[in-house]
A and B are shown apart, each in its own frame.
Chain A
């Protein structure tokens, strides 16, 4: 399995859903999409081994990948949706906004005006704000301090890991738990977290300085393409029904499958 499949504990969630070991998921025969994007589900320069199978969340990445000359796709629905099935929601009072800063990754840090973003959040959000930073920002005191000093509660769900190391297997569990405590989910870019938030029952909002990431590859069209394709997901106040419909499409709800089918699709047969 490619080590990306362990990111955020996605393979672990699917293994548990399939009735297998959560802590040590079996090797998944192919590549698992680990985040929403406007391309084929992976970054434009991602390398795949010959004849690799690609398991996308939904059909659109398959179609785009096909146009890139890539084949062997099968859409399965986002593992986060399977997590929602595995972890039913308890009745809980929701309050405030869980705000996600567009995050960098291990290879690229974000650059932008954090203070201006804070001011806009204060003006917009009606209740308390919890600010989620990916660890790459969380561990940069100069970034984290901005938001702590602004009076926001700052959280991080851990690391996605690399080469099977330091993966927080419960990353998405923590994220889901936080989302279920909040009424709104917001971000400065349309991103995976927004779709997760809507799936977890939050009202979405996408606004503020989208910021730039070092080495960002605009091959797929960037922010302007997002505006053209998903205008219903942008703004401070969004039509919830439309957002839910789009979320279902982007997370591939209709592509989810039963455990037995997943086991066969991933070649998770019992072996000697």
Chain B
């Protein structure tokens, strides 16, 4: 612990919020040279400062808040100065870390310096061969473009001068590089959860960037992930990041740094894909973090999810079915890796695991792993309002059960409903997989979708559902009409038959009462006599009995 020095421009009372960024810390550890005289400028989280201190020589930190400075002074081997950048007069430093950028380095008593003037002030503190790490927020970021809040609410009113009206701020990678007095390697920074070398393109960094943005709390007009993918295809991934990190005067580091659970994943591009390293971490619960299940090499290629989204949108169920069947053959439960189609890569005719380190803590069967993957896919397909060919009454458990069937999982036997709202047989089948998928969403820190476009689309879908249900009711009523008509036809026929029956009975009665019928019946009976002589003898004897003999 050291005493806090105070220079011109300090602020009190005031505090600047900071957040831990393991990926950023890992990048700094890779690029900062050891044993050099170091200056950390602006607010950085204590854990990040500690990671800088691990390898640095004499280290000084400048923050504008006196209270923040007092807290930071608890750290060993750190000289903390409270004050503004323009108030600091010092010998030049061999390393300068300003990963937070130059927005929070002036106080209310400072001159109104533009961004470039602050950069000049920073440069004055660096030796000619210094290693400088400088962050900059991207005014053109996709997250900023899709931010649903108006500008005056987006940045709050906590800054006494509107920083973002500064026309000297660079708003692209090339502008940043050109304005810096040093040669720089620039990383596209996605909420400090994923950092990607601005010169690198590929499916993996795109996925990691999208995941980083999906974990933010920024209220957006529409989902960010789609825009990220499109920008990446256009080669503009670095152009739409939430910020940049310029690394000046240091050796090149790895191409990708990304937060994965509590650990950090790093990746370098190869000719066929990505060489991956994942740090160890301990997470217990339904899902366990296991860095060892992440393959050392992940191939280039689209994910299964992307392929399935396209097939569903094309309503190409046979092709969808084939992919699902191949997935069913490919999946085994041995490793216990929780399957997610957005992290399984299509590798030629085969599939390959991506970078997900999440495994199921308890032993789980192949069917439940498949269910978890299909349920997650279901949530992203339906929740994302993507086009698909399945009717609304299938959406939910039945649809997941259908996909499971395509993957070779036996469907459940139909069960007799006991009430109108009895769940389908598929509800039991998919229950465990749903739990696993929900647990994955928690560890991935995925937020429920609350963007405006989805809300409007949800309302539209509800309206459409109502429209279709009304049509369905109409159809049922029409069917009832048809059935009613058929019943009436039968009723009329029965009435006709009854009339015919009555007429026939009357006619029969009339015939039975006639002499002709009596004679006919007599003849009919007489015709049945087989032995006429014997019959005549019997008749004669009976007559004799009835007629008394003459005496």
A residues contacting B by CB (< 8 A) are 1-3, 19, 27, 29-30, 49-53, 59, 62, 72-75, 163-165, 254-255, 257-258, 260-261, 263-265, 267, 269-272
Contact between A254 and B318, CB atoms less than 8 A apart: yes
B273 CB-CB contact with A under 8 Å: no
Residue of A29, A59, A260, A264 contacting most chain B CB atoms (<10 Å)? A264
Interface residues on B, range: 35 or more
Interface SS of B by simple majority: helix
Contact between B472 and A75, CB atoms less than 8 A apart: no
Contact between B468 and A51, CB atoms less than 8 A apart: yes
Q: How far is the CB of B421 from chain A (nearest CB, A)?
A: 10
A149 to B52, CA, bound (A): 103
Q: How far is the CB of A77 from chain B (nearest CB, A)?
A: 10
B402 CB-CB contact with A under 8 Å: yes
B482 CB-CB contact with A under 8 Å: yes
A53 to B464, CA, bound (A): 13
Contact between B317 and A51, CB atoms less than 8 A apart: no
Task: Give the chain A neighbours of B476 by CB distance below 8 A.
Answer: 27
User: Looking across the interface, which residue of chain B has its beta carbon closest to that of A254?
Assistant: B318
Complex interface residues of chain B between 371 and 405 (CB less than 8 A to chain A): 389-391, 393-394, 398-399, 401-402, 405
Contact between B420 and A271, CB atoms less than 8 A apart: yes
A52 to B478, CA, bound (A): 13
B315 CB-CB contact with A under 8 Å: yes
A272 to B422, CA, bound (A): 9
Task: Give the chain A neighbours of B467 by CB distance below 8 A.
Answer: 50-51
Q: How far is the CB of A1 from chain B (nearest CB, A)?
A: 6
Contact between B402 and A261, CB atoms less than 8 A apart: yes
21 A-B pairs with C-beta separation under 8 A: A19-B414, A27-B479, A29-B391, A29-B393, A49-B472, A50-B468, A52-B471, A59-B316, A165-B489, A254-B318, A257-B317, A260-B401, A260-B411, A261-B405, A264-B399, A264-B402, A265-B391, A269-B414, A269-B417, A269-B424, A272-B417
B486 CB-CB contact with A under 8 Å: yes
User: Looking across the interface, which residue of chain A has its beta carbon closest to that of B420?
Assistant: A272
B154 CB-CB contact with A under 8 Å: no
Q: How far is the CB of B464 from chain A (nearest CB, A)?
A: 7
Contact between A271 and B417, CB atoms less than 8 A apart: yes
Contact between B475 and A2, CB atoms less than 8 A apart: yes
Contact between A163 and B414, CB atoms less than 8 A apart: no
Q: How far is the CB of B236 from chain A (nearest CB, A)?
A: 32
Contact between A258 and B472, CB atoms less than 8 A apart: no
Q: How far is the CB of A87 from chain B (nearest CB, A)?
A: 24
Q: How far is the CB of A13 from chain B (nearest CB, A)?
A: 19
A2 to B474, CA, bound (A): 11
A3 to B480, CA, bound (A): 11
B90 CB-CB contact with A under 8 Å: no
Contact between A49 and B475, CB atoms less than 8 A apart: yes
Contact between B402 and A51, CB atoms less than 8 A apart: no
Which A-B residue pairs are the 10 nearest by beta carbons? A51-B468, A50-B471, A260-B411, A51-B471, A254-B318, A264-B398, A49-B475, A49-B471, A49-B474, A270-B416
Contact between B489 and A74, CB atoms less than 8 A apart: no
A29 to B486, CA, bound (A): 20
Interface SS of A by simple majority: loop
B470 CB-CB contact with A under 8 Å: yes
Task: Give the chain B neighbours of A163 by CB distance below 8 A.
Answer: 482, 485-486
Task: Give the chain B neighbours of A74 by CB distance below 8 A.
Answer: 315, 317, 389-391
A73 to B387, CA, bound (A): 12
Contact flag A73-B315 (CB < 8 Å), given A164-B486, A272-B422: yes
- Selected from B317, B399, B464, the residue in CB contact (under 8 A) with A75 is B317
Q: How far is the CB of A242 from chain B (nearest CB, A)?
A: 20
A269 to B419, CA, bound (A): 12
A272 to B475, CA, bound (A): 20
A29 to B399, CA, bound (A): 16
User: Looking across the interface, which residue of chain B has its beta carbon closest to that of A75?
Assistant: B317
A186 to B394, CA, bound (A): 41
A185 to B401, CA, bound (A): 41
Complex interface residues of chain B between 286 and 334 (CB less than 8 A to chain A): 315-318
Task: Give the chain A neighbours of B317 by CB distance below 8 A.
Answer: 74-75, 255, 257
Contact between A164 and B483, CB atoms less than 8 A apart: yes
Q: How far is the CB of B392 from chain A (nearest CB, A)?
A: 9
B418 CB-CB contact with A under 8 Å: yes
Task: Give the chain B neighbours of A73 by CB distance below 8 A.
Answer: 315, 389
B519 CB-CB contact with A under 8 Å: no
- Selected from B316, B391, B411, B469, the residue in CB contact (under 8 A) with A72 is B391
Task: Give the chain A neighbours of B390 by CB distance below 8 A.
Answer: 74, 265
A164 to B483, CA, bound (A): 8
Contact between A51 and B464, CB atoms less than 8 A apart: yes
Q: How far is the CB of A73 from chain B (nearest CB, A)?
A: 7
Contact flag A51-B472 (CB < 8 Å), given A164-B486, A263-B414: yes
Contact flag A53-B486 (CB < 8 Å), given A261-B402, A261-B405: no
B539 CB-CB contact with A under 8 Å: no
B271 CB-CB contact with A under 8 Å: no
A217 to B346, CA, bound (A): 48
Q: Could you list 12 further interchain pairs (A-B, Cβ under 8 angstroms) beyond the known A73-B315, A258-B405, A267-B393?
A: A49-B475, A51-B467, A52-B475, A72-B391, A163-B486, A164-B486, A165-B486, A258-B411, A260-B405, A267-B391, A271-B417, A272-B419
A53 to B426, CA, bound (A): 22
A49 to B495, CA, bound (A): 34
Task: Give the chain A neighbours of B529 by CB distance below 8 A.
Answer: none
Task: Give the chain B neighbours of A257 by CB distance below 8 A.
Answer: 317
Contact flag A255-B318 (CB < 8 Å), given A50-B468, A51-B472, A52-B471: yes
B516 CB-CB contact with A under 8 Å: no
Q: How far is the CB of B438 from chain A (nearest CB, A)?
A: 23
Contact between A50 and B482, CB atoms less than 8 A apart: no
A265 to B418, CA, bound (A): 21
Q: How far is the CB of A60 from chain B (nearest CB, A)?
A: 12
